């Protein structure tokens, strides 16, 4: 039994006959990606490419979080780097100061981000669209300034902070080969969770709030609570991704958590899809890999991202990957006729 909550698909799957367990197209594609990633890791010619792959998967977790916020609830956030940074710093701080298990430190980092996400959703709950964009942008800038200046905790911009090796119960998993599987599991859990949101009334309530807040309220959906939930879960996933990043980079400084990262995350989701978890993962992959494929890409990144963003918003408002998929499925259907 599965109900798609994909706003842009013209034929929502499996609502008429639902016998046994069927998977939505989104889940199937996510499953395929979860199989493709290990194959890519096996085929990676050297550890550099493997680390790019791991980084892409870390970003994908954050992108899935933003996909729920922006794609389902229509809550735009240009301050996701704040949650990413919170996850990373809380993880590093707990691991360094109290020497707790890395897994627990990462979970605590994610939980801290979730609490902050839930907290800021309250004052933001009356804001829409570009006002919300401005407010979250401001939130991102403020947290960046805090990260850069609270040097006793974060190490600021220089020297930054560093963490030990990732291990579970003393078993060293810090090599890229092993850490890949740690991130793989985390991405699997994140997309399963997001898929469950999409497939149940939780996701439907978020979509309802996006499509018509008055109508959502009129059928008993607490709009403020729904927004708080989506901010909390978006921050949770982004914080998780930040904690994983801390053990991935091992040494990092506040510059990682600036507006640039928030915008890259936004690009991943817009490029991928506003309504499908799997496409957001593909988007994260593309945005992470582009700078690797093109040597001088970083010089033109802002320009290219800016132009692509405008073009996608204009011509494929549901996302590039999503748009290509629906175009392809339309062509296939036409052939069938």
Partner 1 sequence: MLSIKHVSKRFGGLRALSDVNVDAERSCVTAVIGPNGAGKSTLMNVISGFITADEGSVSVDAAETLGLSPHRMCASGVARTFQNLQMFSDMSTVEAVVTGRARHRKASLVANLLMTPAVRREEEEAFASARDLLTAMGVPESFWRRRAGDLPYGLQRRVEIARALATEPSYLLLDEPAAGLNDNESAALGEALVKLAQQGIGVVLIEHDIELVMNVSSRIFVMDAGTVIASGSPAEVRANPDVVAAYLGAEDD
Q: Residues interacting with partner 1, by CB under 8 A?
A: 1, 3, 5, 7-8, 10-12, 15-16, 18, 193, 196-197, 199-202, 204-205, 207-208, 211-212, 214-223, 229
Pairing mode, strands 171-172 and 167-168: antiparallel
Q: Is 160 left (phi over 0), alpha (psi -120 to 50) or beta?
A: left
Nearer to partner 1, 149 or 196 (CB): 196
Give the nearest distance from C-beta 150 to partner 1 in angstroms.
33
Output 64 or 246, the one with its CB closest to partner 1. Answer: 64
First to last CA, the chain: 28
In the complex, minimum distance from the CB of residue 218 to partner 1, in angstroms, rounded to a whole number: 5
Task: Give the nearer residue to partner 1 in terms of CB position, either 100 or 192.
Answer: 192
User: Among candidates 237, 208, 149, 181, which has minimal Cα distance to 50?
Assistant: 181
CB of 320 to partner 1, least distance (A): 19
Alpha carbon distance 87, 335 (integer Å): 48
- Closer residue to partner 1, CB minimum distance, 2 or 264: 2
Minimum CB–partner distance for residue 149 and partner 1 (Å): 37
Contacts of residue 176, Cβ cutoff 8 Å, sequence gap at least 6: 47, 50, 51, 54
| CB of 132 or CB of 216, closer to partner 1 | 216
Q: Which residues contact 163 (CB under 8 A, 6 or more apart)?
A: 91, 92, 95, 96, 102, 246, 247, 250, 251
Core vs surface per residue 110-137: b (16+ CB within 10 A) or e: bbbbbebbbebbeebbebeeeebbebbb
Closest CB 43 distance from partner 1, rounded Å: 33
CB of 156 to partner 1, least distance (A): 37
When the beta carbons of 135 and 205 are compared against partner 1, the nearer one is 205
């Amino acid at each position: 039994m599965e109900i798609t909550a994909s706003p842009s698909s013209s034929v929502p799957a499996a609502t008429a006959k639902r016998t046994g367990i069927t998977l939505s197209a989104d889940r199937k594609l996510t499953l395929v990606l979860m199989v493709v990633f290990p194959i890519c890791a096996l085929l990676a010619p050297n550890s550099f490419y493997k680390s790019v792959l791991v980084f892409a998967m870390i970003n994908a977790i954050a992108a899935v979080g933003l996909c729920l916020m922006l794609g389902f609830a229509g809550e735009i956030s240009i301050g996701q780097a704040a949650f990413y940074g919170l996850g990373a710093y809380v993880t590093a701080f707990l691991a360094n100061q109290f020497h707790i298990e890395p897994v627990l430190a990462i979970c605590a980092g994610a939980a801290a981000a979730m609490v902050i996400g839930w907290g800021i959703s309250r004052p933001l709950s009356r804001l829409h669209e570009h006002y919300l964009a401005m407010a979250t942008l401001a939130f991102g800038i403020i947290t960046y300034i805090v990260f850069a200046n609270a040097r006793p905790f974060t190490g600021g911009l220089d020297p930054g902070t560093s963490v030990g090796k990732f291990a579970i119960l003393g078993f060293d998993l810090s090599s890229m080969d092993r850490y890949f599987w740690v991130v793989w599991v985390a991405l699997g859990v994140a997309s399963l969770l997001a898929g469950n949101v999409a497939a149940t009334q939780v996701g439907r309530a978020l979509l309802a709030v996006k499509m018509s807040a008055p109508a959502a309220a009129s059928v008993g959906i607490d709009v403020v609570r729904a927004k708080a939930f989506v901010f909390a879960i978006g921050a949770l996933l982004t914080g998780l991704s930040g904690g994983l990043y801390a053990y991935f980079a091992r040494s990092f400084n506040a510059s990682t958590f600036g507006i640039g990262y928030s915008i890259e995350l936004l690009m991943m989701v817009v490029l991928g899809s506003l309504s499908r978890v799997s496409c957001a993962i593909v988007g994260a992959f593309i945005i992470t890999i582009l700078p690797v494929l093109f040597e001088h890409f970083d010089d033109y990144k802002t320009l290219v991202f800016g132009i692509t963003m405008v073009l996608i918003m204009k011509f494929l408002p549901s996302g590039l990957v999503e748009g290509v998929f629906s175009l392809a499925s339309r062509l296939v259907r036409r052939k069938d006729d």
